[in-house]
Chain A
Amino acid sequence: MRSTRVRLTCTAALAALALSACGGSPTSSSGDSGKKGGSGTTDAESFYADMEKLSGQERRDALVKAATEEGELNLYTSMTSDVADAVASAFSDTFDIDVNTYRAGSETVLQRVIQEQKAGFNGNDVVETNATELLALNQEGDLAEYTGERRDMVPEAGVFEGWTATRFNLFSPSWNTDTIGKLGGPPTKWEDLADPRFDGQLSMELSDSDWYLTLYGYWQEQGKSDEEIDKLFADMADGAKIVKGHTVQGELLSAGQFGVVASNYTYLVERVKQDGAPVDYMPLVEPVIARPNGVGLMKTAVHPAAAMLFTDWLLEEGQAVLQEEGLTPSIPSSGDDPLKGLEVIPVDVDKLLNESEEWNKKYEDVVSGGEKVDN
């Protein structure tokens, strides 16, 4: 009895695998059938264009009607899961539209969309992720044009071809409040990080080349020579503890493994601080470096109305949801703008897109101490 069942199971498993083995041979995958040509607009694009002729409540009503008929939305995002959950449930509670969320790191989101689009598989209607990846998706020609009143309210640093910033991640130094006193107080300007008083107590993150290239450009504009700037970064890296991952960095900072972190996201530090950990990042070191994260509509969206409604909503009511989650929304609500009066510079997205390899390499050399500058 038992052995019969086992045998049946085995046969079924064998059959299932054999079936899958015969079908998809790697050679059957040579065609790039799904590739979009430069010409011709998709159905979704013409839908967006029609909607963009409307404005205000009229546009909202039309979108709600069409989106309700579609009934669901496929969202790919690199928002952290608590934020993604809050956003998705707020949206679906408001409009009674199911949100299917795929969540991963931004690089993985990019890979997934590119893979699917190249194969002509329309997995997502809308994508919400980091600037670098959105720039890449736009370059791939996957993102549709989007206009609207809410987009017009986003600061210039957050308006891009094919996508619109929904929030900013802020880079600023953070420190352990128990030990910072012994180190001569918190850094008040970026140059302080190169100060020998932080040797052995400063931590830098392995992949923050976006922060690096922006600060580099800022210092160039301030009239520093490349040698001076290289020296500053080399002095920072000298004796620095290099860590992979901002979360671990925040955790180790609160545990006292090091006293100062060069470039953590302020919202991550804020979160640990809220739990009562001895960490702080205020007063912010100026200029605060802001990296836009944004939303883009897919040209091939299967639910274009839901996609557009979601984008409109995220730039309007959704902004408050983001703020509640401790993020910095791209359209500051009047009154409580935490960045009011501070000098904020956006990450240099142009360099990020066109010179990323060069800057990645340079930053890698800085953190690995590969090219010490001795001037």
Chain B
Amino acid sequence: MSTLGEKVRKIRSKNAGPFWVTIDIFCGNKKIYKEVCIKLTNSAIVNLLMISEQQLKRFEIDDLNVIKFSFPRKIIQGDIFDRDMHGAQLAVLLSEMKF
């Protein structure tokens, strides 16, 4: 079984203001995009990131073959318990996810 990172072209995550994080999955082509759209469920993301499903926003951007997830940060950017201010390492978690 391969990982999501091996399947798609690129995964990136980034803070979207101090209160949100957003993850972009660039699938690379239509075939992989369609496959990821079907197989990558919201509940898989919710379990991986330990967030509630109601907080998760999902966008499927056909023109760019991109799937995007956005959600409020559990810890506000730069608070004393924040470990990654830009949230950029969350992409690694998705990348290493079994797919």
Chain A bound to chain B: no
